[in-house]
Structure 1
Amino acid sequence: MVFNDLKDNKVTSGMVEIGRGLKTVSQHMLRPPVTLEYPEVMPDLSKRFHGRLTLLTKSDGSDLCIGCKACARVCPCVDLIQIEMHRDSAKKPVIDRFTIDMGRCIYCGNCTEVCPVDCIKMLNDFELADYSRQALVLDKAGLSLSGEESDRYRQTHGLEAQV
């Protein structure tokens, strides 16, 4: 009968629960911290991380994009990618305007998969916050990597060099 009184006692059950809580806290105190102190410590991202879009160029700095507009057609965000082009006297495509609204992009990667010349890729850059929406609309100059940066990207990601 005394045992049943101790079992039903709220003080005893409260002490047991406090002991369980202290046990859990003490186990977690011995583990290494999981939280990163961002932005002082940058997270390690996979090579396959879907971040900011970029346009790769040829080694000489000329456009690699052939203006097929496959990326614009496959994009689920309507009018996200806008391409205007013309052909020069040698019938080669010349890109007049290439813009992407990064504020509307859902980072699905469809545009990078469908590109026949692999000129549009996703970088590991995820810090895209800005004070205006217009700053997130990137033109060809804002999207393009230089020839040297494009070559370095291709080398680190195992892509063929474009001449």
Structure 2
Amino acid sequence: MGIKKVGLNRNVRPQTLAEKIFFLDFMKGLKTTIKHLFRKVITVDFPYEVVEPTPRFRGVHGLRNVDGTEKDDFDAWVKKLKIKPPEKGETRCIACKFCQAACPVPDIFEIKAKKLDVPKDHPHYGLKVLDVFNMDLGKCMFCGLCTLACPTICIIHTDIYDLSTYSRRGWVLDKEKLSKIADDFIARRGSEKYDEKSEWPDYQRLWNEADLARAKAWENNPPKLGPNYADQT
């Protein structure tokens, strides 16, 4: 096999002596650089400067706690799945695994419920509580399907977009961390994201017409329980 000879591109004008001496090509590039020095900066000096995302931004997940703003059918879901009625400040999660069933990458979730170890005459005998809820955000696509599938509006997206960590294990968040993230987010921007009288435009609200239509259709045809639910009954 021979070696192909590549000749010079004859269509390119060779540099003149003045261009070689005074680096005119370099000066042309430097001119563009200097011109942009006096323009308005459009970048952000992260992490020293941060950007506040729009209300419907899909950032790091959070688990909402019971705060008195639950849907009307919240108690019905708790009773149906035999979960101990959560008190104020406890997680809304009922371990239905709808989020895992809706997720394109179900390995993200690790959800387990355990039965309460109480005597038979106890009012909570036979009921369960959420034991484990872990999310591996290193595998997440942030599509938001899990938040739409949640019947108790427990799992939500927040405005946190900084996922930097020193190890992959740092992307795995347990229920305590997820609950704290949701509490902090709602304290900061809850009125923007959940208040129907929000100043944000209709198309930016969390529950716009498309979401409401989906929820109404869900009431008439509720989804089945998530995968591997039989091992918790």
- Into which bin does the TM-score normalised by the smaller protein fall? 0.7 to 0.9
Report 1:22-33 matches (<5 A): 28=36, 30-33=38-41
What does residue 80 of structure 2 align with? none
Report the secondary structure of 1:144's partner residue.
helix
Report 1:34-113 matches (<5 A): 34-59=42-67, 60-86=88-114, 89=124, 93-113=128-148
* CA distance, structure 2, for counterparts of residue 96 and residue 65 of structure 1: 10
Distance 1:76 1:99, change over 3 A: same
Count residues with an aligned counterpart: 153
What does residue 193 of structure 2 align with? 157
What does residue 4 of structure 1 align with? none
* CA distance, structure 1, for counterparts of residue 129 and residue 42 of structure 2: 49
State the identity as a percent: 32
Matched to 1:100, the amino acid is M
What does residue 133 of structure 1 align with? 168
- Is the Cα–Cα contact under 8 Å of residues 61 and 147 in structure 1 kept in the other structure? no
- Is the Cα–Cα contact under 8 Å of residues 111 and 134 in structure 2 kept in the other structure? yes
Structure 1 residue 156, shift from structure 2 partner = 3.3
Unpaired segments ≥5 residues, structure 1: 1-9
Distance 1:47 1:91, change over 3 A: farther
Unpaired segments ≥5 residues, structure 2: 1-14, 20-24, 68-87, 117-123, 197-233
- Is the Cα–Cα contact under 8 Å of residues 53 and 143 in structure 1 kept in the other structure? yes
Report the secondary structure of 1:71's partner residue.
helix
* CA distance, structure 2, for counterparts of residue 33 and residue 147 of structure 1: 33
Distance 1:93 1:151, change over 3 A: farther
TM-score, L = length of structure 1: 0.72
Matched to 2:112, the amino acid is E
CA RMSD of aligned residues (A): 3.4
What does residue 179 of structure 2 align with? 144
Q: 1:16-67 deviations in whole A, cap 9, x for unaligned?
A: x99x989966764553111211111112311111111110001221121122
Matched to 1:54, the amino acid is G
* CA distance, structure 2, for counterparts of residue 90 and residue 147 of structure 1: 30
Runs of 4+, deviation exceeding 6 Å = 20-27
Matched to 1:48, the amino acid is R
Structure ranking higher on relative contact order (CA contacts 8 Å, 6+ apart):
1
- Is the Cα–Cα contact under 8 Å of residues 61 and 182 in structure 2 kept in the other structure? no
- Is the Cα–Cα contact under 8 Å of residues 57 and 146 in structure 1 kept in the other structure? no
TM-score, L = length of structure 2: 0.53
